[in-house]
């Protein structure tokens, strides 16, 4: 005969694998996925541009310029997406200013708070870098070239690059600073998104420049894409292993298949194969690999965000 | 984590740039867009005359408690002392009547789902199912029945769930606007006129308490009847509870009576009896704590909930390490390219020299 005690243990046998399974989903869905994607590319592009600018050769400058002018519109799209996602968008400024005291609102331990400021500061420096670039190209008054020259130019590039790295990775930390399944069960999402953002940004720049870009610069971008993809693969494997039964619970379904096919196979392994065996697709190897990387980066964000939302 | 270092004052200002009013003393929280209470704020009370402002009712504690006799003088509201206050819920005496749920919805003017059309859960006698922006109290039915058991062994566990008013509150930890404040009673309150609906608190609460209230599109949850407490009134749910399963008072007093009840149950042989959240092991302590007679997970409570910000330092370090690694790899790549270029140039020069001086 079953005792009440053992019925209690029947219930306990269904206990979820982590304390994170007792929480509610914040309903961060497609707007957030798209923001993570475009924001990540914007940040990664600024980082790559700054590297080429600060440590590259003069022939790298066209690609650095491309990186800045690509990054600016992407973050300009990302910011409004975040505002649109709020339930009360007209109060977005409450993130920056305390609505009742007028004092600045900043919490260094809350990624959504320091993230909002980080995106704002990044937006400022990438704007300056892009304005300087347009002046350099003759589309804006020559005096604004100052933003790309000398100490000022170096400072603008360095700060755009550093805050770009921040924007590329903080989104994963934002997810970790919850109590949701998967997101809060690991501390690797920030690193994963950072690496994926750099590889996606390199892919975008390759796609836009492989026909006309200086060969040395494009080759360096392809190298960065390979390094970040390899590290991303390792991080993803460590993540799945460290998640253990949580991974089974959240990804032991269609989401897991999508991650495996969309990100691991299409977004990482195939592009790596094309990099290491360029004869597979001939002249189109480089742009094909870049396009696949972009698909993988988008699927990664969609799976990470939506699979936890679905729990 | 600096739980008290929030950006907003403990006692919210009366009005805001948007013109809404947030919790001035003696005013119940009214969800934007919902009509003022039409009936009595408490079960058993007589309805106020039409048009009576809701705020006027809260200033009449005696009238609320003994409505029939007390129609003459309304004593002034006497707020509680500013000491940690909260709930002790003895789940063993809950009968699942849901009076607390009803009282909460009524007092706080919380709207119903589906325009009031009842939707049955289909797999439980509980049709509320969870806490959310419109349900700040929820009586959980834990139906422990083994369907294969011919002896029909089984039991019901009832638990009136609510915001735990955590001493280290996850919701407050992440809130980027300072909308979530700690009150003078050590309770946790969301100011709906400050909340911008980012929904970070929803995923941050380890207990799944908060959700968006569709009426005003902000995150909402139990306030531990902050408005009533400021007027010296017992929160609506505790006052409505007919079995004293929900007890309200100063946390220190509640802990004492919980301890006595625990010892009583254990001496009677209920060895599984345990207190949940009465000490500081669970997020620094819960100002709404429970007496349970099974493991917390059986009641849908996490065994060891944590603050969301716990992951920030390690995640930050990992990401920084990744950023440094990519920076170094990028530098190495650029340097190698330059070296290769030099080597090629030197080889080219050597070849030219040979050609010039050669054969
Ligand atoms: S139970 Fe959830 S909503 Fe209530 S104070 Fe704790 S974290 Fe905040």
What pLDDT digit, counting tens, does each position of B126-164 carry?
988 999 999 999 999 998 877 665 656 788 899 999 999
Nearest CA to B236 out of B104, B60, B83 is that of: B104
What band does B75 get if pLDDT is binned at 50, 70 and 90?
Answer: low
What pLDDT digit, counting tens, does each position of B26-66 carry?
333 333 333 332 223 333 333 333 333 333 333 333 333 33
**Ligand 1: which residue has its CA nearest to atom 8?**
B171
Rounded to a whole number, what is the distance in Å from the CA of A258 to chain B's nearest CA? Answer: 24
φ/ψ region of B295 (left if φ > 0, alpha if ψ in -120 to 50, else beta) reads beta
A178–B contact, CB cutoff 8 A: yes
Which pLDDT belongs to residue B345?
85
- Distance separating the N- and C-terminal Cα atoms of chain A: 35
Interfacial A residues in 109-128 facing B (CB < 8 Å): 109-113, 116
Q: Reduce the DSSP state of residue A229 to 3 states and report it.
A: helix
φ/ψ region of A160 (left if φ > 0, alpha if ψ in -120 to 50, else beta) reads alpha
Rounded to a whole number, what is the distance in Å from the CA of B278 to chain A's nearest CA? Answer: 19
Which pLDDT belongs to residue B117?
82
**Cβ–Cβ under 8 Å, residues A105 and B7:** yes
Each domain of chain B, given as residue ranges in start order, spans: 14-73, 85-306, 310-350
Q: Provide, as residue numbers in chain B, all residues whose Cβ is less than 8 Å from the Cβ of A27.
A: 199, 202, 212
B138's tokens? 């929820």
Measured between alpha carbons, how far is B59 from B69 in angstroms, rounded to an integer? 17
pTM for this structure? 0.85
Cα radius of gyration rounded to whole Å, chain A: 22
Q: Between residues B32 and B334, which one has the greater pLDDT?
A: B334
Q: Reduce the DSSP state of residue B246 to 3 states and report it.
A: strand
Non-local (6+) Cβ contacts of B99 within 8 A are B43, B240, B241, B242
CATH class as words, domain A27-205+212-309: mainly alpha
What band does B353 get if pLDDT is binned at 50, 70 and 90?
Answer: low
What pLDDT digit, counting tens, does each position of A216-267 carry?
999 999 999 999 999 999 999 999 999 999 999 999 999 999 999 999 999 9
Alpha-carbon distances, residue A178 vs A26, A183, B202 (angstroms): 10, 7, 9
Strands B288-292 and B85-90: what pairing? parallel
Strand positions, DSSP E, chain B: 85-90, 137-145, 154-162, 180-182, 188-190, 211-213, 218-220, 246-250, 274-276, 288-292
Cα radius of gyration rounded to whole Å, chain B: 29
Rounded to a whole number, what is the distance in Å from the CA of B115 to chain A's nearest CA? Answer: 21
Residues in chain B: 359
Which pLDDT belongs to residue B300?
94
- Give the distance (Å) from ligand 1 centre to CA of residue A105: 21
Residue listed under structure tokens 């603050």: B307
Q: Is B163 in the pocket of ligand 1 (CB under 6 A)?
A: yes
Non-local (6+) Cβ contacts of B336 within 8 A are none
Between chains, do B202 and A116 touch, taking CB under 8 Å as contact? no
pLDDT in tens, chain A (311 residues): 334 444 444 444 468 889 999 999 999 999 999 999 999 999 999 999 999 999 999 999 999 999 999 999 999 999 999 999 999 999 999 999 999 899 999 999 999 999 999 999 999 999 999 999 999 999 999 999 999 999 999 999 999 999 999 999 999 999 999 999 999 999 999 999 999 999 999 999 999 999 888 899 999 999 999 999 999 999 999 999 999 999 999 999 999 999 999 999 999 999 999 999 988 888 899 999 999 999 999 999 999 999 999 99
Which pLDDT belongs to residue B73?
59
As a CATH number, domain B85-306 is 3.30.70.20
Q: What is the DSSP string of B174-242?
A: H-SSS-EEE-TTS-EEE-TTT-----HHHHH-TT---EEETTTTEEE----SHHHHHTT---HHHHH-T
This complex has an ipTM of 0.92
Q: Reduce the DSSP state of residue B33 to 3 states and report it.
A: coil
**Cβ–Cβ under 8 Å, residues B127 and B112:** no
B175–A contact, CB cutoff 8 A: yes
- Give the distance (Å) from ligand 1 centre to CA of residue A138: 56
Which pLDDT belongs to residue A278?
85
Q: Decide if pLDDT at B98 tops 70.
A: yes
DSSP annotation of B81 reads: P
Each domain of chain A, given as residue ranges in start order, spans: 27-205+212-309
Residue listed under structure tokens 């500081």: B280
Q: Which of B66-80, B224-238, B335-349 has the highest mean pLDDT?
A: B224-238
What band does B25 get if pLDDT is binned at 50, 70 and 90?
Answer: very low
Q: Decide if pLDDT at B74 tops 70.
A: no
Strands B288-292 and B274-276: what pairing? antiparallel
Q: Provide, as residue numbers in chain A, all residues whose Cβ is less than 8 Å from the Cβ of B18.
A: 91, 99
Sign of torsion over alpha carbons B203, B209, B214, B215? negative
Rounded to a whole number, what is the distance in Å from the CA of A140 to chain B's nearest CA? Answer: 30
CA within 13 Å, CB half, A204: 27
- Residue among B183, B188, B308 to mutate when testing ligand 1 (max atoms within 8 A of CB): B188
Which one of A12, A61, A100 makes the best mutation probe of the B interface by having the most chain B beta carbons within 10 Å?
Answer: A100
Q: Is B200 in the pocket of ligand 1 (CB under 6 A)?
A: no
Q: Decide if pLDDT at B205 tops 90.
A: yes
A123's tokens? 């937006």
Between chains, do B302 and A173 touch, taking CB under 8 Å as contact? no
Angle at A288 between CA A281 and CA B331, to 5 degrees: 105
């Amino acid at each position: 005969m079953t005792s009440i005690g053992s019925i209690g243990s029947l219930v306990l046998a269904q206990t979820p694998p982590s304390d994170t399974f007792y929480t509610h989903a914040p309903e961060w869905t497609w707007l957030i996925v798209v923001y993570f994607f475009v924001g990540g590319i914007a940040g990664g592009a600024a980082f790559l541009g700054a590297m080429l600018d600060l440590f590259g050769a003069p022939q790298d400058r066209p690609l650095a310029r491309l990186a800045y002018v690509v990054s600016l519109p992407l973050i300009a799209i990302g910011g409004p997406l975040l505002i649109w996602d709020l339930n009360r968008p007209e109060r977005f400024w409450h993130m920056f200013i305390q609505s009742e005291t007028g004092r600045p609102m900043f919490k260094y331990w809350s990624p959504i708070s320091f993230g909002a400021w980080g995106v704002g500061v990044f937006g400022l420096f990438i704007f300056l870098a892009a304005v300087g670039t347009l002046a350099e190209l003759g589309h804006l008054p020559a005096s604004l070239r100052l933003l790309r020259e000398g100490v000022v130019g170096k400072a603008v590039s360095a700060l755009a690059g550093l805050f770009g790295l921040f924007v590329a990775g903080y989104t994963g930390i934002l997810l970790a600073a919850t109590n949701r399944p998967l997101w809060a069960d690991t501390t690797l999402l920030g690193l994963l998104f950072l690496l994926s953002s750099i590889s996606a940004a390199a892919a975008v720049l390759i796609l836009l420049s492989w026909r006309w870009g200086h060969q040395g610069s494009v080759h360096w971008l392809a190298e960065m894409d390979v390094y970040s993809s390899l590290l991303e693969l390792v991080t993803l494997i460590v993540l799945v292993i460290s998640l253990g039964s949580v991974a089974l619970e959240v990804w032991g379904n269609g989401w897991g298949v999508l991650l495996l096919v969309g990100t691991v196979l299409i977004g990482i392994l195939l592009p790596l194969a094309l990099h290491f065996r360029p004869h597979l697709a001939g002249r189109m190897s480089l742009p094909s690999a870049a396009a696949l990387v972009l698909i993988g980066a988008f699927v990664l964000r969609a799976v990470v965000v939506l699979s936890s939302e679905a729990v | 984590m600096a739980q008290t270092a929030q950006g907003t004052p403990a006692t919210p200002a009366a009005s805001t740039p948007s013109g809404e009013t947030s919790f001035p003393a003696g005013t119940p929280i009214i969800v934007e867009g919902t009509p003022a209470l039409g009936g009595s704020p408490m079960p058993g009370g007589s309805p106020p005359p039409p048009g009576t402002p809701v705020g006027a009712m809260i200033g009449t504690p005696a009238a609320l408690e003994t409505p029939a006799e007390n129609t003459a003088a309304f004593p002034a509201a006497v707020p509680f002392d500013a000491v940690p206050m909260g709930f002790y819920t003895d789940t063993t005496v809950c009968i699942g009547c849901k009076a607390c749920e009803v009282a909460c919805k009524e007092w706080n003017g919380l709207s119903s789902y589906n325009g009031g059309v009842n939707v049955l859960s289909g797999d439980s006698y509980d049709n509320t199912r969870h806490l959310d922006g419109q349900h700040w109290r929820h009586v959980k039915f834990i139906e422990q029945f083994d369907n294969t058991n011919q002896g029909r062994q089984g039991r019901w566990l009832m638990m009136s769930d609510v915001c735990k008013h955590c001493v280290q509150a996850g919701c407050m930890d992440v809130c980027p606007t300072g909308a979530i404040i700690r009150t003078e009673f050590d309770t946790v309150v969301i100011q709906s006129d400050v909340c911008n609906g980012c929904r970070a608190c929803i995923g941050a609460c380890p207990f799944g308490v908060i959700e968006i209230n569709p009426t005003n599109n902000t995150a909402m949850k139990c306030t531990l009847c902050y408005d009533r407490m400021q007027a010296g009134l017992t929160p609506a749910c505790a006052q409505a509870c007919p079995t004293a399963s929900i007890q309200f008072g100063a946390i220190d007093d509640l802990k004492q009576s919980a301890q006595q009840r625990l010892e009583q149950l254990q001496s009677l042989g209920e060895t599984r009896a345990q207190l949940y959240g009465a000490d500081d092991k669970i997020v620094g302590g819960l100002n709404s704590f429970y007496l349970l007679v099974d493991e917390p997970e059986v009641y849908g409570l996490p065994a060891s909930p944590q603050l969301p910000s716990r992951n920030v330092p390690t995640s930050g370090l990992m990401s920084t390490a990744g950023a440094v690694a990519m920076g170094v790899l990028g530098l190495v790549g650029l340097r190698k390219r330059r070296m290769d270029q030099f080597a090629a140039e030197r080889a080219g020069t050597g070849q030219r020299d040979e050609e010039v001086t050669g054969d």
